[in-house]
Amino acid sequence: MPRPEDELVKRQRERARLMAWLLGAFVILLFLITVAKIGLNK
């Protein structure tokens, strides 16, 4: 049976990985929003 600590670390790692992906996606989204906004103001 896995120890509770193992499960804890596994969950933390899973969530950290997901946060990294989401942050990356957010940066890309902000970039695209900026480009689109600049395009609108031209």
Partner 1 sequence: MTPSIAQTSLTADWRDLLALTKPGVMRLVVFTGLCGLLAAPVSLPPALGFAAILCIALGAGAAGALNQWYEADLDAKMRRTANRPLPARRMDRQTALHFGVGLAVFSVILMDLATNHLAAVLLAVSILFYVLIYTVWLKRRTAQNIVIGGAAGAFPPLIGWVAATGTVDTLPVLLFAIIFLWTPPHFWALSLFVRSDYAAANVPMLPVVAGIENTRLQIFLYSLALAVSAVAPYALGLTGLVYGISAAVLSAIFLVLSAIVLANKAQEPSGMKPERRLFAFSILYLFALFAAVVADRWVAG
Which residues lie near partner 1 (CB under 8 A)?
4-5, 7-8, 11-12, 14-15, 18, 29-30, 32-33, 35-37, 39-40
Nearer to partner 1, 24 or 36 (CB): 36
Nearer to partner 1, 12 or 24 (CB): 12
What DSSP letter does each residue of 1-41 carry, written as one string? ---HHHHHHHHHHHHHHHHHHHHHHHHHHHHHHHHHHHHHH
Nearer to partner 1, 18 or 24 (CB): 18
> DSSP character for 33?
H
